[in-house]
A and B are shown apart, each in its own frame.
Chain A
Amino acid sequence: MILVLVDHDRGELDPLSLRALTAARKLGQDVEAVVIGKEAGALAGIVGEYGAKVLHVASHANITDYTPMASGRALKDLVEKLKPAAVLAAGTPRGNEQLAHLAAFLDLPMAAECSEITLGSPHHVLRARWAGNLIESANVHADLLIATVLAFSTEPESANGGAATVAEFEPSLQPADYAVKVLSRDAGESKGGVTLTDAKVIVSGGRGVGGPDGFGQIEELAALLGGTVGCSRVVTSSGWRPHAEQVGQTGTKVAPDLYIAAGISGAMQHIAGMKNSKTIVVINTDPEAPILGYADYAIIGDLHQVIPALTSAIRQAKG
């Protein structure tokens, strides 16, 4: 049996977990899912549709929001009880963190960001390194495989399954396990609307935008397309935009339907964060900019002329 940690934010499913479930199914064993936090029990339907027979729900008075070490403890309890062949999660900051706690509790190896998993003795994985530019072939020497699934490496496929059976359990938490947890939240830097990870359309600006003022036209275009604004590292380093908008290896990795990169030359670490986008459009004055190698379409020109023209053309087309 493969146990998949399905991640959620206060009950709201992380869609990348569906990819992890799909990847788990491909290992040819029964799949069961686990969520941490009682409020996620409602995910039994979707988790079942994606092939999990059982949804284990870790429920505990001290798990009221994201509590990563408690997640690790809950997983440990479940692993000891169910003896799965592997525990998987999505290769997100949260997925990686919670499985790392499990691995630390059990003193077992963990393979993060795997694009391919073969169970065996030893287990074998292909995992992403160097911002996805390298693929490591690695053996994992342990009975239980603990691995996260590289974001966007597997397309989510429904198994058309019925709702999973919900099995609630109370993990044997110790005070240290919930010493660190989310105490409060605010909308912070995010503008409330669409977030980078959810956005279907991202319009990103780089050094070529020239300064904070230049982002006005980027925002306008993004809003027109129902998307959100992203940027490159130099933009946040220069203080032109908040860090939450940074796309890349050190920012957020995204894979929207449409990614428009304006005035971004394409440092490796930026490419790492956006290359999985479905369609990539580049607006750049330099026809030799590295990002063109990853683009589907490009306009060679100054974004300060192209973007306003594009915005009005889209307005016109929309009528």
Chain B
Amino acid sequence: MSKLPAKAKCVVIGAGIVGNGMVYHLAKLGWTDIVQIDKGPLPNPGGSTGHASNFIFPVDHSKEMTAITAESMRQYKEFGTFTETGGIEVARTQERMQELARRITSGKSWGIDGGQILTPAEVKKLVPYIDETVIVGGYYQPTVGVVDSLRTGTIMREKAQEMGALQSFANIEVQDITVENGEVKAVVTDQGTIEAEYVVIATGCWSPKLAAMAGAHIPLTPAVHQMKDIGPVPFFKDTKGDIEWPIVRDMDVFMYERQHGTGLEIGSYAHRPILYTPEDLPSNATAALSPTEFAFTQADFDIQDEHAYELMPSIVGDENVREKYAINGILSYTPDGMPILGETPEVKNLWSVAAVWIKEGPGTAKSVAEWMVLGDSHIDLHASNIARFHEHHKEEKHIKSRVAESFNKTYGIVHPNEQYESNRKVRLSPYYDREAGLGAVFYETAGWERPFWYECNKDLVAKFGDKVMPRAAEWESRWWSPIINAEHLQMRETAGIVDLTAFAYFDITGPSALAVVQKAALRQMDVAIGRVVYTPVLGPNGGFKSDLTIMRLDTDHFRVVTGGAHGMADKKWFADLVPSDGSATINDITSDYTTLGVWGPNARAIVQAVTSEDMSHEAFKFSTCREIDIKGVKVLASRISYVGDLGWEFYVPMADGPALWDALWEAGKSHGLIPVGIGVYGTTGRLEKCYRAYGPELETEYTVVEAGMQTPKLKEADFVGKEAHVKHRAEKPVAMLCTLFVDDHTSSTGVKRYMMGNEPILTVDKKAITDAHGRRSYVTSAGSAPSLGKHILMSYLPTDLAVAGNKFIVEYLGEHYPCSVAEVGSTPVFDPSNERILG
């Protein structure tokens, strides 16, 4: 073996499916001088790739995951390492049948077709060795398959070597990753030091340990997935090759069974969460099997044995079919279930490609390689962005408690609004006790407890009657309350106070501050002091990276206000634009500041009652901000609205929050002020106004023009994505974001059903709609518009179909509902001329 080079452009640490994918795609994108190292031997260095069960179900409720998986399958097929077997998810309960219908629906939204619901007898036809009496049905996906991940990794590594771009070294232990001035400098190993411009951590469950060497964080935990291989199975004695029979997922007991040669592999996500830390993993030398294959703990599998026996008694119940092999395999789990991708916020040019499973490996590698080489990936990776984590997310306690809670949801039925129970109350707003006293039902965002609605408003439900659009079906009334819609209607009549403490705020100051925000923002930032600008933030390809609000507080002082969930990624985005010469600095004040909003027809009267400042429309114009005094508290007031009514956001230091609340609350008593939750702020108020949100509507794959958000005039100053944006402005958009109304909610059983988002929009003859860029039309956001008595759906539609009045079908849980386009583009369906805001 030749000696380690002293220098490289890029060191990729790890030779599992991810590391091999990274070297291949970096080489393919033109990088040369890549060095790959692994502490284990090749081709199986002993990580999770080596013991993976290797099957791929292409459908996930997450668009991002499904896209990555589809790209991975494409590559596995290209390398000839994919065997299509078909797969069946079986249901033992009616609740699961509904979930399977939802999965088919998600598949259609993301462009994965072919899913069909089967009766137990039809399942039995495909898998003769099941007992069909224990199931109520199944979901058959013919495109499910099995891959050879080790072989694929080897092929990718060898291709990178053939390109002359790669040198790979086995049995190299990384001892340190050195950093200089916040930039990665070198990888120190037991065989020498390699100076590198870029370092990629592709070390799966060891990633946290390697990141820590550089002072960065990759918050994941190694967790056990139990697997048992039994055989030889007489029924499989004539099978050829590794796999012939469909993979079966026994969803309600969180298990899978797959034929493997003459054996049957039984895997489980049903056992108790068994979590480790990377330090717990043995070295290749001390491991009994491999460092990620721990001894099987039968006691944790006892119930699973019985469940497998129930489903496949003729095989599992055969006394002569014996355990051949059983392991507690180690996989990477993250606190929110998504991968951890991208440049670490702590160290420049240090990249994480972690918590990536076999089904996502090659696609993730391609996307991250694009991000590294081209500045952005074709597939939107915002939910996997490593920069998403707040500080408390990186703590062991958070990682462990969330993974312990979510482990058994691997095959669970997870409601889109489902809240975590563990590690809550991490961040409390100054109003928390007051809100709790009002019966707030708290949801969590970025660790903050946010009132989603207030039980104290429940009398309003009776007041508004059917206008609250009550929901009869359990699924869409779970994690929902008609009180949300009642709060909405009351706010539109009088006023509501909204706790917005979960915002993230950061100040950009210094002589270059203007240049920094100009570079980030689509809109003109060279505005008068005191102006508030709502602006998209674009990526290099002209797609969305965020949308947020920037206040110009002084010539050289801008304050960025953005949503809590995406706040840390935004901070990194801006920080990356700050020049290194010290002419601008970025300062995160998220934990120091709190925000209250007051909106509604009576908002002005309430605010005017507590301040001597002139709050009239003329004196305090829309989209402006200034410091005012409220009962002795200095408050930064900003006249903007995300809910469609007149009002202000008030920013104060945390300590002043209670006094501000009390002043507004007291003054509001005579003006019908009610507490209003995020259910209104984030959904109903927003949707009536057709306001787009980052994530659902605004993402990398759509342009400003398609979102209907282009400014009449393009600013002169340069900004990220300008070139692409200029091109988009010149072209006819391929799709347009539309607002649709559901025309009839009645299901086949006569129950009114309400879509929740992510459902496919179909033509009236129930065909999926794909635009010229291959993008499916699906519901980006859905929710009540109580003021209109309508249920709103937002969806991108191909431009020729995006015509007001055009009729479509929305598929929801396997049934079809008519809907029609109410508005094309961003014109609000409620108060289109914004009279209420500008009043």
Contacts and interface: CB of A to CB of B under 8 A. Distances in A.
Interface of A: 286-288
A286 B170 CA distance: 12
B465 interface: no
A191 to B, nearest CB: 33
Nearest to B171: A288
Tier of interface size on chain B: under 10
Interface in B128-182: 170-171
B282 interface: no
Contacts of B41: 286, 288
5 contacts: A286-B41, A287-B1, A288-B41, A288-B170, A288-B171
Nearest to B170: A288
Nearest to A287: B1
Nearest to A288: B41
A234 to B, nearest CB: 14
A287 B41 CA distance: 9
Contacts of A288: 41, 170-171
Interface string B403-419: 00000000000000000
A288 B170 CA distance: 9
Contacts of A286: 41
Contacts of A287: 1
A286 B1 CA distance: 13
Interface of B: 1, 41, 170-171
Report the 4 A-B pairs with minimum CB-CB distance, sorted nearest first.
A288-B41, A288-B171, A288-B170, A286-B41
A19 to B, nearest CB: 31
A287 B1 CA distance: 10
A259 B170 CA distance: 28
A288 B171 CA distance: 9
Contacts of B170: 288
A315 to B, nearest CB: 34
A313 B170 CA distance: 34
Contacts of B1: 287
Nearest to B284: A288
A46 to B, nearest CB: 44
B16 to A, nearest CB: 17
A287 B171 CA distance: 11
A23 B569 CA distance: 72
B343 to A, nearest CB: 33
A288 B39 CA distance: 12
B620 to A, nearest CB: 73
Contacts of B171: 288
B713 to A, nearest CB: 65
Nearest to A290: B285
A286 B42 CA distance: 10
B282 to A, nearest CB: 14
B746 to A, nearest CB: 66
Nearest to B41: A288
A286 B43 CA distance: 11
A287 B169 CA distance: 13
B42 to A, nearest CB: 8
A284 B802 CA distance: 67
A288 B284 CA distance: 11
B236 to A, nearest CB: 21
A207 to B, nearest CB: 16
Nearest to A286: B41
A288 B40 CA distance: 10
A287 B42 CA distance: 10
A291 to B, nearest CB: 13
B381 to A, nearest CB: 35
A11 to B, nearest CB: 45
A287 B170 CA distance: 11
Nearest to B1: A287
A288 B43 CA distance: 11
B45 to A, nearest CB: 10
A309 to B, nearest CB: 24
Nearest to A293: B285
A65 to B, nearest CB: 41
A287 B43 CA distance: 12
Nearest to B42: A288
A98 B170 CA distance: 50
A288 B41 CA distance: 7
A296 to B, nearest CB: 20
A136 B535 CA distance: 72
A306 B307 CA distance: 51
Nearest to A289: B41
A300 to B, nearest CB: 11
B171 to A, nearest CB: 7
B173 to A, nearest CB: 14
Nearest to A268: B288
A32 to B, nearest CB: 46
B314 to A, nearest CB: 28
A74 B1 CA distance: 61
A199 B383 CA distance: 66
A168 B96 CA distance: 86
A300 B663 CA distance: 82
